[in-house]
Amino acid sequence: MKISKIEYKKLDEVNRMHRFKLEVTPKRQRTILKPLTWLISFFETRKRHLKITRIGMEGLKKPYLLLCTHHAFVDFKVTTMAIFPHRASYVVAIDGFINREMILRNAGGICKRKFTNDLVLVKHLKKVVNDYKDILCIYPEARYSIVGTNAILPESLGKLCKYLDVPVVVLNMHGNHLSSPVWNLQSRNNNITADMTQIITKEEISKLDIDTINDRINNAFIYDEYKWQKDNNIIIDNPNRARNLHKPLYKCCECGNEEKMTSYGTYLKCNNCNSIWELTTIGELKRIDGKKARFSHIPDWFEWERSEVRKEIENGNYKFEEDVYIDSLPNSKGFYRLGLGHVKHDESGFSIKADLEGGNFELLKDPLSTYSIHIEYDYFGKGDCFSLSTLNDTYYLFPINKKNIVTKLHFAAEEMYKFIKNKKKA
């Protein structure tokens, strides 16, 4: 089934469908597939002049855990070249398995539903390092970077590292987001680089506490694509380079309106106060009226929006309600549209309810069970959406009336998690 296709099914029909078999033992990457992955990755990264800097990697032997930053689809090809000529197993989100489950399993793919606690997955990961003695690749940010900066990482990552008991390496990539930002996937083919650093040795992993491990990982994951672009004078002169920039920069920093931002060509505009910014070839925002831009750096604007959402939550003013289309992803065959539902998000967490053909639907997610959420912009032509998962299904939720809202919702999920957690501690 094409991902872009909208196929309606009754709730009871979907409930009877087989689920993706997360419990199936992961396969070691087939030897026959190794040359193919190398060949594809070589040509893609060569034209972008990939340069990999290795730090503290001397004498390191597999198995080890490779934690990778996540920017764009080219990440996987960079990772393949970084570990060449070794094979690896990869944790892949279930939507990556659509229409290619067999080949992904044989290529070493291990399925996960995003932002869920999956104990079966942990056993699979242990098997990779203990039995297969292979490299284990994880992209712990669990989604492409929204504006080229690092995302929140799960607190359980340090605990996983202790359990696996192998060296930890971080692959921090640069230029990948710039080549096809998640809000505008048109390829720019700029140069890319990567830093591959062993941050925890085999001797250290048993001695370090979980907090120290998490600190090392978080510090190694810091990146800023737009700073990197400026520091390295990476010129991107694509005539549509600002198209859809209003999706992450949804709130005007001049008038505060959240509903009137738009973008086109090389420009970002607020249709409420008529402020216009140009995205320069070096990745900076400049006002076209000559006035000094409040935010010339995209990530600064992005984090200001986060702070505004945090204020709403702390002041008790935040509440989100919206009608949504509900798409179910029970397995690797594709999505099934269940119908129309209603979502609420506040201090109680997420609540999705619907009276559907084939039964009543309800999904409740406590705020402490969602330290973040996955969002997509214009997902295969079906619109902006966010997803929530259980171990049995993943639901893609498409807002109907409110436009350009999913970035704020992603901020709200993360800030609500922190707010409730701190509130309970207090």
Q: Which whole number is the average pLDDT over 248-260?
A: 97
Q: Is pLDDT at 251 greater than 90 in this prediction? A: yes
Give the least confident one: 121-130, 183-192, 328-337.
Answer: 183-192
Cβ atoms of 210 and 162 closer than 8 Å: yes
pLDDT of amino acid 151: 97
Amino acid at 244: N
In degrees and rounded to multiples of 5, residue 38 shows phi and psi of: -65, -45
Identify the pLDDT of residue 426.
82
Residue 268 has φ and ψ, to the nearest 5°, of: -120, 130
Q: Distance between CA atoms of 275 and 256, rounded to whole angstroms?
A: 11
Hey, what are 178's tokens?
């710039």
Written as one string, the DSSP assignment of 365-382 is E-GGG-S--EEESSGGGS
Calpha distance 264→279 (Å, rounded): 10
The residue type found at 245 is: L
Quick one: DSSP state of residue 33? G
Residue 1 has pLDDT above 90, yes or no: no
The SS3 call for residue 8 is strand
Tell me the C-alpha distance between 192 and 234, whole Å.
Answer: 10
Q: What is the pLDDT of residues 340-399, one digit of tens each?
A: 999 999 999 999 999 999 999 999 999 999 999 999 999 999 999 999 999 999 999 999
Q: Looking at residues 182-201, what average pLDDT do you find?
A: 95
Q: How far apart are CA 8 and CA 339, in angstroms?
A: 7
Residue 337 has pLDDT above 90, yes or no: yes
CATH topology for the 21-231 domain: Glycerol-3-phosphate (1)-acyltransferase (3.40.1130)
Local confidence band at 17 (pLDDT 50, 70, 90 cut-offs): very high
Residue 320 has pLDDT above 90, yes or no: yes
Give 396-411 pLDDT, tens digit per residue. 999 999 999 999 999 9
Reduce the DSSP state of residue 13 to 3 states and report it: helix
What pLDDT score does 190 carry? 95
Q: Where are the beta strands (DSSP E) in 179-334?
A: 193-200, 261-264, 267-270, 276-279, 285-287, 320-328
240's tokens: 């549509």
What pLDDT is recorded for position 277?
Answer: 98
Cα–Cα distance between 130 and 60 in angstroms, integer? 16
Confidence of residue 73 (pLDDT cuts 50, 70, 90): very high
Residue 69 confidence (pLDDT): 98
Contacts of 231 (CB under 8 A, 6+ apart): none
Q: What is the pLDDT of residue 2?
A: 87
* Interatomic CA distance for residues 253 and 245, integer angstroms: 14
What per-residue confidence (pLDDT) applies to 177? Answer: 98
pLDDT for the residue numbered 425: 86
Under a CB-based contact definition with an 8 Å cutoff, are residues 167 and 198 in contact?
Answer: yes
Pairwise CA distance, residues 410 & 372, whole Å = 7
Q: What percent of the chain has pLDDT over 90?
A: 96
Report which of 392, 363, 398, 364 is spatially closest to residue 379, judged by C-alpha positions.
398
The structure tokens listed for 369 are 């069970």
Q: How many residues are present in the chain?
A: 426
pLDDT above 90 (res 200): yes
The helices-and-strands tally (H runs, E runs) of the chain is 12, 18
Considering the chain, what percentage of its residues have pLDDT values greater than 70? Answer: 100
| Cα–Cα distance, 78 to 50 (Å, whole number) | 8
Stretch 90-106: mean pLDDT: 95
Cβ pair 28, 89 in contact under 8 A:
yes
Domain at 320-425, CATH class: mainly beta
Residue ranges of domains in the chain: 21-231, 261-314, 320-425
Contact 148, 177 (CB under 8 A): yes
Do 21-231 and 320-425 share a fold?
Answer: no
The pLDDT, as a whole number, for residue 411 is 98
